[in-house]
């Protein structure tokens, strides 16, 4: 009985060097997955806003604090919370660790917190706060993702 020893070829040991076009395709798929994951989080955020806003309304009405939803500061924070809860749940479902979830949550709140200054100074109104808070949230999320591209490109 003979025993054979399998020695991996260069192609199996380092597949990216054996077929450069394969390495390019893998990189392309990672960028595609990265983008898809970003879009999944945006959808989760939208679902959070739609699903959780009525819950806040009911709870605050029951507590006699419905006016908090009309205050631009608390209204923006409630909306950011709605989006963050749903997006965080989606990230955990996708297998993300708590640190990237916390970083992404910070990206959700940071634009609103920054915009509270011009709001307080009367330079923008509630509508501008909500519009620009949402617009600036997207690059803030992308920045959080780019801190750990491996975390998002392989999901």
Whole-number Å distance between alpha carbons of 102 and 86: 13
The CA-to-CA distance between both ends of the chain, in Å, stands at 45
pLDDT digits (tens, 9 = 90+) for 12-22: 444 444 444 44
Q: What is the mean pLDDT of residues 21-45?
A: 73
Of the candidates 114, 130, 128, which has an alpha carbon nearest to the alpha carbon of residue 82? 130
- 147 token code pair: 């801190």
Domain ranges, ordered by start, for the chain: 21-153
pLDDT at 11: 44
Whole-number Å distance between alpha carbons of 44 and 38: 10
Reported as a pLDDT band with limits 50, 70 and 90, residue 151 is confident
Whole-number Å distance between alpha carbons of 37 and 35: 5
Q: What is the mean pLDDT of residues 130-153?
A: 91
28-37, 71-80, 140-149: which has the highest mean pLDDT?
71-80
pLDDT at 116: 98
pTM of the model: 0.74
pLDDT at 14: 42
Residues 6+ apart with CB under 8 A from 20: none
Burial of residue 86 (number of CB atoms within 10 Å: 0-12, 13-18, 19+): buried
pLDDT at 5 over 60: no
């Amino acid at each position: 009985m003979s025993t054979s020893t399998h020695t991996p070829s260069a192609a199996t040991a380092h597949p990216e060097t054996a077929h450069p076009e394969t390495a390019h395709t893998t990189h392309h798929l990672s960028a595609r997955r990265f983008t898809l994951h970003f879009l999944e989080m945006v959808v989760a955020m939208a679902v959070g806003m739609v699903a959780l806003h009525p819950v806040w309304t009911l709870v605050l009405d029951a507590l006699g604090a419905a006016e908090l939803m009309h205050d631009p500061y608390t209204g923006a924070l409630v909306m950011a919370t709605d989006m963050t809860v749903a997006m965080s749940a989606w990230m955990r479902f996708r297998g993300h660790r708590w640190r990237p979830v916390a970083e992404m949550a910070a990206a959700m709140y940071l634009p609103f917190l920054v915009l509270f200054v011009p709001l307080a100074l009367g330079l923008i109104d509630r509508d501008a706060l909500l519009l620009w808070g949402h617009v600036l949230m997207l690059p803030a999320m992308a920045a959080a993702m780019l801190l750990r591209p491996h975390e998002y490109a392989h999901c």
